[in-house]
């Protein structure tokens, strides 16, 4: 029964991923949110390929690895685009956020390399190594998105509705992925099947959410009035970030000269 549920969710995620691409193209926003479109397209196409090779473990594994690498690149650029859009009026904070994202994803990749070299994974299969790497990188995205969400909840930086909703959806999605990974670490094999169901449901749900969340009207900036004290704090943080970036550039030039 549970295997049948996973298969159903697999097909549903293919359909919802394709629907995201069609929706973005139909409303003329595929180029603006090309990271999201690429993620949805790769996810849908790779899921179809994996269905054909589910009885060939070697080919299945390499398709999965290639697909996730492409998905990770698309997700990185999607998240980077969302936060650069959210912070387009605050270039100092935006540049810092982009560096933080790159650092966290890079650190997650390094940790995943070391993790698969540990003794407790030495007897594991390549599929287990891949699974571990995927979940660690996903956790890196979750940490960044949750941290950024806390910042935006505190300072309420004005942004487009589409950007806000996509950030919220991505935060929930990657938090679920990270929690599923944590459950497997803490509980072990008994948690693998329930975690797989949760992950498949999250894949289907996040794309279905994006189909309805992104609209043409959501591209306009809201006419809202924000707390002037909080806005002043954001502007001060932005000025400090710009000053710090300038100091770092000057230090680099001095050392290179």
pLDDT tens digits along 178-206:
888 778 777 776 677 777 778 888 888 88
For position 119, what pLDDT does the model report? 45
Per-residue confidence (pLDDT) for residue 241, from 0 to 100: 63
Give residue-wise pLDDT tens across range 109-161: 676 666 555 544 455 566 666 677 777 788 888 888 888 888 777 777 778 88
What is the per-residue pLDDT for 229?
Answer: 62
Q: Tell me, what's the pLDDT at 106? A: 75
Instruction: List the domain boundaries for the chain.
Output: 2-248
DSSP 216: S
* Rounded Cα gap, residues 236 and 244, in angstroms: 12
Q: Minimum mean pLDDT among 26-35, 66-75, 240-249: which range?
A: 240-249
Highest mean pLDDT among 54-68, 95-109, 163-177, 212-226: 163-177
Of the two residues 22 and 231, the one the predictor is more confident about is 22
CB 158 within 8 A of CB 88: no
pLDDT at 40: 93
Report, as an integer, the average pLDDT of 28-47. 92
Q: What is the pLDDT of residue 8?
A: 83
pTM of the model: 0.80
The fold adopted by the segment(s) 2-248 is Rhopdopsin 7-helix transmembrane proteins (1.20.1070)
Is residue 58 predicted with pLDDT exceeding 60?
Answer: yes
């Amino acid at each position: 029964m549970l295997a049948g549920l996973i298969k159903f969710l697999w097909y549903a995620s293919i359909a919802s991923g394709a629907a995201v691409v069609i929706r973005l193209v139909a409303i003329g926003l595929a180029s603006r949110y090309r990271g999201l479109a690429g993620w949805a397209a790769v996810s849908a196409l790779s899921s179809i390929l994996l269905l054909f090779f589910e009885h060939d473990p070697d080919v299945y594994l390499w398709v999965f690895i290639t697909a996730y690498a492409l998905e990770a690149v698309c997700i990185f650029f999607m998240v980077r685009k969302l936060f650069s859009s959210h912070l387009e009026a605050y270039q100092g904070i935006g540049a810092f956020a982009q560096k933080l994202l790159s650092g966290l994803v890079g650190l997650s990749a390094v940790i995943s390399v070391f993790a698969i070299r540990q003794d407790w994974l030495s007897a594991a299969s390549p599929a287990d190594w891949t699974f571990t790497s995927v979940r660690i990188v996903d956790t890196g995205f979750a940490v960044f998105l949750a941290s950024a969400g806390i910042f935006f909840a505190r300072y309420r930086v004005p942004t487009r509705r589409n950007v806000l909703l996509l950030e919220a959806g991505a935060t929930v999605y990657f938090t679920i992925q990270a929690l599923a990974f944590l459950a497997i670490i803490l509980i072990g094999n008994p948690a693998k099947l329930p975690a797989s169901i949760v992950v498949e449901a999250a894949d289907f749900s996040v794309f279905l959410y994006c189909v309805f969340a992104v609209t043409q009207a959501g591209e306009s900036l809201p006419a809202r009035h924000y707390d002037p004290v909080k806005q002043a704090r954001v502007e001060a943080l932005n000025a400090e970030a710009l000053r710090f970036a300038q100091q770092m550039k000057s230090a680099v030039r001095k050392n290179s000269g």
